[in-house]
Structure 1
Amino acid sequence: MYYFLQCLVLSTITTILLAFIVTVIICRYHFHTIRKQSIATLNKNSTKKDQNAATTNDKNSLIIAFYHPNCSMGGGGERVLWKAIYVLGDLYRAGMTNINVVVYTKDAPSKSYKDDLFQHVKSRFSITVPPSLPLSFVHLHDSVDTSETPKRQSMIAQSAETVKLAWKAMNKLTPHVYIDTTGCAFTFIVAKLLAGCTVAAYVHYPTISTDMLSMVFERRPSYNNDSKITASRITTCIKLIYYTIFAIAYGIVGSMSSLVMVNSTWTHGHIQFLWRLASNLCIVYPPCDTKSLEDLPLENRNDIILSIGQFRPEKDHALQLRSFALLLKKYPDDTKKTWNVKLALVGSCRGPDDEQRVEELRNLSASLDISDSVEFVLNRPYPELREYLGRASVGIHTMWNEHFGIGVVEMMAAGLITIAHNSGGPKADILAPFKGNMTGYLASTEEEYADAMYEALVESKRTGDDSNMKMRQLARESSSRFSDEVFVDSFKHAIVSSKILCR
């Protein structure tokens, strides 16, 4: 009987392995056929636009696809995407004329889609997409559920959705090189394992981290760790097991990448721990438009505390409102009567959930009795954001374990005294001492934020001390470490030295 069970288990495992291998082989052949069709289609389109394209875009064409379904949004991830495409434009102009660039998007197609999107990219990010670069879009709108979805989804559900979308994407167009710029590592199963693509990733934030595991273990409530779960040891234990299994799976799929670029020292540490078998792991700081902000005057600023960032739950705008309310309550004579301090929250909304979140923040400001001192500025073009950066005196950023913090860098480059959360990228990279001096403030609690805002905005005026002006100048100088030019050089070096573009 024991021998029979051994044989049964062995035969079952063998059957599963054989079925897996056969499935992979069939999928590889299937996607190889689609890749050949994709090359022919892109070459045909290129030839229509450029009669000389036929001499360079032949069977040896290299299709480079970016997985970024929300490519038309206005966040830091989209800035990385379009600057990366700009770098490929540089390589194209330098002689790598066999490349065709593709972006997978969930937007619906239209006759003016490409022109409208390029105009948006130029307006929002001041990035001009090279017109000579062969760039196409694969629209996945028919594969996206447009019905109202739950406000929260589990990591497994989210990952399953990305795998499903990647499968649809590969069936429409299969590239040679697949670059994920959204952090959806489980799409590598389709891209690498089934379609045989060379996979690269730009990781903004690990889907799961040891910090998240620690938060669950310590039963600390958060936007992604509900208080109902933290109240029970049993549910906490179940969630910890779930997180651990997911972390192992995340590490396995992430290790399929041939090039991993991360945006900060904090992200590098977590990805290095989780994606242990991944090749070519390097830090490529995201592109920040520091140059266009450096000409903003440092003097004659208004008494405005500025917040920049999408209205996502993890940005913790509520902490900004509570800290600001405490500032006004703790120092009423200076903040209201003498200086008339204001808080401006500038950011974009990705959809109905974010819009609802803004409404909740408005209600919170009303309950804190600070509505007259708070301004919400939503979905405005870059020139208007730049205007706020030129008028404000202090910048505030409250996300715990922010992976990097492009908004923090922009505020520093614009000459604001910046207060960021004492964790993640702002702590490890951005607001780290520069030339032995402080470049801003780090805080964690409402009290720490309130005191830092007071010191940055009011105290120097009371004492006549010029230390704040020196901090503005030093912060602006240090922000050049994260400029567009540094990103272009670093990204180009990473993809060239890794040889992922070589066939």
Structure 2
Amino acid sequence: MAFPSPAPAPSPSPSPSPSSSPSPSPSSSPSPNLSSASPAIVPLFYTVLLLLPLILVIVRSYIRSRVKRHSFGFFHPFTNDGGGGERVLWCAVRAIQELDPLALCFVYTGDVATPDSLAERAHNLFGVVLPRPVEVVRLSYRHLVEASLYPRFTLLGQSLGSMALALEAVLRRPPSVFVDTAGYAFSYPIVKLLLGGRAGGGGGAGGVGGGGAEGGGGGGGGCLVVCYTHYPTISGDMLQRVQQRTAMYNNDDTVASSSLLSSSKLYYYRLFAFLYGWAGGHADTVMVNSSWTEGHIRRIWTRNRPSTVHRVYPPCDTAALQALPLSRPEPGYVVSVAQFRPEKNHALQLRAFAQAIKPTALSDPDPTAGAPSEPDPMAGVRLKLVGSSRHREDERRIELLGCLAVSLGIERRVDFAVNIPFRDLQQLLGSATCGLHTMWDEHFGISVVEYMAAGAIPIAHDSAGPKLDIVVPACPALEGGSAGKMGQAEEGGEEKEEGVGEGEVEGLEGEDSGGKHEGGNQVSEQSEPLISKGEIEADPSASPVGFLATTEDEYAAAMRAVFAMSAEERERMATAGRERAKRFSEENFEKGFKDVLRPMIGCS
């Protein structure tokens, strides 16, 4: 029997496998259609972009409505550093409060503090008595300006962090005058962006900035930006060191030894210098602490008019030191007061001292031995290194310096005094014959002023603040001579490259002597006194007040020169130095500070 062929059945569609799913039809797809959505996104983006200026205007108007007249905000995120910068802060606050009886002063700080605790700190630590307490504006994001947060591109990272910190400060408490005493130049554009205003905009007899009768009205004259700059964040000298591939504490050997890394860092520094100048140009009034800082700021902050940059020497508390007697015990000692940081270059001090005492026995003198035919001026002289240690890194540096003293054979003539009380420091200064300063390009040099006020002869680095402002005039380079009364450098007068030599101690290579020195401050023997009594009595400021040096030879020669003087000669030079130190008093700082601000804020 034949069966009919069945009609062909339609092919069944394959059943979906677990690993695949049917392609959804366009009509049933839940996925968004990007091409159809993009026309809605683009107008929204441009709308927000166009509204940004309006949003900024509204925010600025709101912030400025909160500005009170006579309000001064001091931007000093670290109010516990205990250094010269903090002294400037409290002396500036006192000057403002005395200048403007209506002044409302507040401090932007990241420290946990109260108005009473800050007033007590200013009094106990610096002897500054505030007419009335300041208000405290606590900053929560201070860590953004800490160097430890930026192991690379530290300058740029801290600068951007200061912009964020300034934003927080202004949002928390907007001032009519923003006073930066910590050197955060990148904060100025933020203040100007949010508060506006230029010098003279909100002045007048009624005060500065702000608005209505209660100080809360809007409008006003915007915010004035005043800064006290201790040193430029970047300078031409820093660029030169990178360009010349000079290894130093802020230009390590890895970068200095590589042409590629040096070129890259040079471009980075140039870009940063441009941005730094742009940011600093937003300051209405600039005060600097020295001639050296003034020169660099004028060159870098090109947007600032020359009339806006004023040199106001920092306040130095020398009243107690000025009262110390000028006579010194025998055989005397050399003192060095500086934090144990790489740039202070303590290694140079040790090597110079070792060279200065070479003609003597390196051990303590034997009292039973007969007196030499020609007494050595350095016999029995000791070196006392005084400074603060902040952390383990500083402690390690002190240990290395001790090892260097041992390798030089002078450990029995060197003392370390670490973190001593101020009372003990005064006693050490009051009995020191001379004081050493070896930091290259230090912007000012308060320790040098303290030496002079205490009656110790300064031997300072021949650069920056000590050279241009403090040790003025210095003892001139003396012609000829030998290793006699006034001492001299090594035979032949050759200058030596500084740095820890081979076979000495590793770990201090970052310390730098400042390189070679031309036309240095060599001293030599002479029969006449260095200065005459008549010169001092006629014009103390015209008499030499100390020595300048750069190389190991020059420092050694200067030390021998000081100890070769008679007691009368040393006392005459100390008198001239003490007179010079009076220029850097707290009274002169506050007078200069008031003179600069008086025309801005309209106070008589």
Alignment TM class, shorter chain as reference: 0.7 to 0.9
CA distance 1:276–1:86, shift in 2 (3 Å): same
- Alignment partner of 1:107 is 2:111: yes
CA gap 1:256/1:469 in 2 versus in 1, 3 angstroms: same
Instruction: Evaluate the alpha carbon distance shift between residue 317 and residue 212 of structure 1 in structure 2; reply closer, same or farther with a 3 A threshold.
Output: same
What is the rounded CA distance, in whole Å, between the counterparts of 2:542 and 2:192 in structure 1? 45
Give yes or no for the alignment of 1:410 onto 2:450.
yes
Structure 1 residues 46-85: Cα deviation after superposition (integer angstroms, max 9, x where no partner): xxxxxxxxxxxxxx53221111122222211111111111
Corresponding residue number in structure 2 for 1:139: 138
Tell me the distance in 2 between the aligned counterparts of 1:398 and 1:295: 26
Indicate if the aligned counterparts of 2:106 and 2:136 stay in contact, CA closer than 8 A: yes
Query: In the alignment, what sits opposite 2:371?
Result: none
Call closer, same or farther: CA 1:360–1:157 in 2, change over 3 Å.
farther
Taking the aligned partners of 2:297 and 2:118, their CA distance within structure 1 comes to 32
Matched, 1:306 2:329: no
Question: Who is 1:79 aligned against?
Answer: 87
Instruction: Tell me: CA distance 1:334–1:483, structure 2 relative to 1, closer, same or farther (3 Å).
Output: farther
Counterpart residue number, 1:475: 577
Instruction: Identify the residue that residue 444 of structure 1 maps to in structure 2.
Output: 550
| Equivalences for residues 202-217 of structure 1 within 5 A | 202-217=228-243
Aligned amino acid, residue 82 of structure 1:
W
Aligned-pair identity (%):
41
Structure 2 distance, partners of 1:358, 1:372, is 16
d(CA) in 2 for partners of 1:397, 1:127? 27
1:276 CA displacement: 1.6
Q: How far has the Cα of 1:166 moved from its partner?
A: 2.0
Quote the offset at 1:345 in angstroms: 2.6
Give the letter for the 2:298 counterpart: Q
Partner of 2:77: 69
- Aligned partner of 1:453 in structure 2 is 559
Take 1:367 and 1:501, find their aligned partners in 2: how far apart are those partners? 62
| Greater Cα shift, 330-339 or 239-248 | 330-339
Confirm or deny that 1:245 pairs with 2:249.
no
How big is the shift at 1:266? Answer: 0.9
Alignment partner of 1:198 out of 224, 239, 242: 224
TM-score (normalised: structure 2): 0.69
Is the CA contact 1:315–1:398 (under 8 Å) kept in the aligned structure 2?
yes
CA distance in 2, matches of 1:473, 1:479: 10
- Alpha-carbon separation, structure 1, partners of 2:152 and 2:336: 25
Would you say 1:276 and 2:316 are equivalent positions? Answer: no
Q: Report the alpha carbon displacement of residue 501 of structure 1 after superposing the two structures with TM.
A: 6.6
Describe how 1:368-379 pairs up with structure 2 within 5 A: 368-379=408-419
Q: 1:33 aligns with which of 62, 66, 83?
A: 62
Q: 2: CA distance between counterparts of 1:291 and 1:147?
A: 35
Aligned to 1:290: 318
> Separation in 2 of the partners of 1:240 and 1:32?
41
Deviations 1:372-402 (A, max 9, x none): 4333333344333222221211111111111
Letter in 1 for 2:93: I
Q: Which has the higher helix share?
A: 1
Taking the aligned partners of 1:482 and 1:147, their CA distance within structure 2 comes to 31
2:175 is the alignment partner of 1:171: no
CA distance in 2, matches of 1:373, 1:22: 72
Partner of 2:488: none
User: How far is 1:500 from its partner?
Assistant: 4.7
Shift of 1:418: 0.3
Deviations 1:175-215 (A, max 9, x none): 22111112211111222223433211111101111111222
For residues 89 and 231 of structure 1, do their structure 2 counterparts lie closer, same or farther at Cα, with a shift above 3 Å needed?
A: same
2: CA distance between counterparts of 1:177 and 1:218? 42
**Contact 2:69/2:176 (<8 A) preserved:** no
DSSP 3-state at the match of 1:144: helix
For 1:341 and 1:277, the matched residues in 2 are separated by: 52
Structure 2 SS opposite 1:178: strand
Number of positions where the alignment pairs a residue of Structure 1 with one of Structure 2: 450
SS in 2 for 1:225: coil
Is the alpha carbon distance of 1:295 and 1:232 closer, same or farther for their aligned partners in structure 2, counting shifts above 3 Å?
same
Tell me the alpha carbon deviations over residues 294-328 of structure 1, each in whole angstroms, 9 at most, x when there is no partner: 11101034622222233333222232233223333
CA change 1:353–1:86 in 2 (3 A) is farther
Q: Is the CA contact (8 Å cut-off) linking 2:541 and 2:579 kept in structure 1?
A: no
For the residues of structure 2 that align with 1:261 and 1:500, how far apart are their CA atoms? 16
1:129 lines up with 2:234 in the alignment: no
- The question of whether the paired residues in 2 share the 8 Å contact of 1:440 and 1:471 is answered with yes
> What is the CA deviation profile of residues 15-37 of structure 1, one whole-angstrom value per residue up to 9, with x for unaligned ones?
99x95x96566456435535655
**AA matched with 2:564:** E
Cα distance in 2 for partners of 1:143, 1:114 equals: 19
Structure 1's unaligned 5+ residue stretches are 1-14, 40-59
Name 1:161's counterpart in structure 2.
161
The question of whether the paired residues in 2 share the 8 Å contact of 1:416 and 1:472 is answered with yes
Do the aligned partners of 2:363 and 2:410 also contact (CA within 8 Å) in 1? no
Superposition map of 1:267-416 within 5 A:
267-279=293-305, 280-301=308-329, 303-328=332-357, 330-333=358-361, 336-337=364-365, 339-416=379-456
Q: How far did 1:427 drift? A: 0.6
CA–CA distance in structure 1, aligned partners of residues 147 and 286 of structure 2 = 34
Match of 2:592 in 1: 490
Aligned to 2:251: 225
- Using the alignment, how far apart are the partners of 1:292 and 1:448 within structure 2? 31
> Contact conserved, 1:27 with 1:195, CA < 8 A, in 2?
no
Work out the CA distance in 2 between the residues paired with 1:173 and 1:340: 59
Q: Which runs of 5+ in 2 are unaligned?
A: 1-44, 197-222, 366-377, 474-539
Hey, what does 2:187 align to over in structure 1? 187
CA 1:217–1:192: 2 relative to 1, 3 Å: same
Checking the alignment, whether the CA contact within 8 Å between 1:151 and 1:353 is kept in structure 2 is: no
Distance in 2 (alpha carbons) for counterparts of 1:292 and 1:261: 27
Structure 2 contact 108–139 (Cα < 8 Å) conserved = yes
CA distance in 2, matches of 1:485, 1:310: 26
- Indicate the SS of the match to 1:185: coil
From the superposition, tell whether residues 62 and 335 of structure 1 become closer, same or farther in structure 2 (CA, over 3 Å).
farther
> How large is the RMSD of aligned CA atoms in angstroms?
2.9
For residues 372 and 35 of structure 1, what CA distance do their matches in structure 2 show?
64
Match among 277, 282, 289 for residue 256 of structure 1: 282
